[in-house]
Structure 1
Amino acid sequence: MYLEQIKTILTDTLSLGDAGRDLTADSPLLGALPELDSMAVISLIAALEEHFDIAIDDDDISASTFSTLGSLAAFVEAKRGA
């Protein structure tokens, strides 16, 4: 459920265009997408907070959270359930 929404937010935030449609749950993000730099991570977090009405603390953020699209979706799902 969250995966497709997050894929859309990620694609829009990073301006991935057509390349964003090819992302799957196993698609690596951090280190694999040159567009996902530190400033883009901040923009992405803000977009996720706004879209899903969640608060993401600095302590919540780790490289493993942004490892794959699936790990990011699982993180958002856990935040929504909290």
Structure 2
Amino acid sequence: MELKDKLLKLIDQTLKLNGRGLSFTEVTKLLGAVPELDSLMVANLLTQIETEFQIRIEDDEIDGTLFATVGSLLKFIEQKKSS
């Protein structure tokens, strides 16, 4: 499964979007646009991302731009996996 597809599935399951998240694209806005993505869900999603993609996300790497779009989150994960 492609990284983007894994991420979309993870977003959909974590936020309980009932399949809606599977149709997100890289330009789909997340923070402030998806009501289910509140501060508690951000923390939950970060934990799920760390587990699924076997990466470590430091507190100082987290800001609003990380969750601006699916693409920004995807790019971050790709960078973490390649480092």
TM-score (norm 2): 0.94
* Deviations 1:52-80 (CA, angstroms, capped at 9, x unpaired): 11100110111111000011000000010
- CA distance in structure 1 between the aligned counterparts of 2:25 and 2:46, rounded to whole angstroms: 19
The answer as to 2:28 corresponding to 1:24 is no
Where does the alignment leave 5 or more consecutive residues of structure 2 unmatched?
none
TM-score (norm 1): 0.95
Corresponding letter in the other structure for 2:31: L
What's the % identity of the aligned pairs? 38
Cross-structure match for 1:52:
53
Alignment of 1:1-16 (within 5 A): 1-16=2-17
How many residues are matched? 82
- CA distance in structure 1 between the aligned counterparts of 2:81 and 2:36, rounded to whole angstroms: 26
Corresponding letter in the other structure for 1:22: S
Supply the RMSD in Å over aligned alpha carbons: 0.8
Cross-structure match for 1:61:
62
- CA distance in structure 1 between the aligned counterparts of 2:75 and 2:3, rounded to whole angstroms: 8
Q: Runs in 1 of length 4+ with deviation above 6 angstroms? A: none
